[in-house]
Homo-oligomer: A and B are copies of this chain.
Amino acid sequence: MSAETTARPKARAKKRTNDPEGMRKKVLDVAEEAFQARGYHASSMGDLMATAGVTGGALHHHFATKKALALAVIEERVAAAVEETWIAPVRRAGSAREGVRAVFAAVAAELEQQGFVRGCPLNNLAHELSLADPDFRIALADIFSAWRQAIADKIRADQQAGREQGTDPQRFAALAVATYSGAMSMAKTAQDTRVLRDCLMALEQGVTRRRRRILHKAP
């Protein structure tokens, strides 16, 4: 804990391997992709080793067990993905509703041009792992929680600006995340993004409530 080593832990030279971050990053990349595409149980350590071009010794050095690897994927990658595609955009948006709408539309557009739907990384892993192991479950629940928290906070910010007076922040956030997650489930199963559009339009119609049409924009 205490730094008694003459107080100069400066790095002398950077690594000069071809891989700037080492093999840990490469393994995480491959594992994230595989867990997303095929799931945890369907992705074998052997497959991951082969695809990452990494030997068993190397993999085991960085991640002692498969569970440790998955936990790292969840905490480092899945959490970051939710932060990047949802939390940050909502924070930046003009309002909570506009943020939710924009993310919904952006994801739908991206999937449409991509041609196939692999589903939400958080949801995919949550379904497979949250009942299998308490550590998995808690890590995944925390991400869901932060996701809803960010949307609820945005509603509260809107309310401090005089808007959204009749909206319950927690309930709105729960509805937004649930609708997105469920719509992605169906889109993945049907391999069709139309249900995403349907949900977005139903949300806009229904949840925007009495406002018939907004002709003025926020500064």
Contact = CB atoms under 8 A, between A and B. Distances in A.
A89 interface: no
Given A168-B205, A174-B202, A179-B182, 8 more contacts: A39-B132, A119-B131, A126-B185, A126-B189, A127-B188, A144-B189, A178-B199, A206-B206
A177 interface: yes
Copies of the polypeptide in the assembly: 2
Interface residues of A, number: 51
B128 A171 contact: no
Interface of A: 37-39, 41-42, 118-119, 123-124, 126-128, 130-132, 137, 140-141, 144-145, 148, 168, 170-172, 174-175, 177-183, 185-186, 188-191, 195, 198-199, 201-203, 205-207, 209-210
A148 B207 CA distance: 20
B182 A178 contact: yes
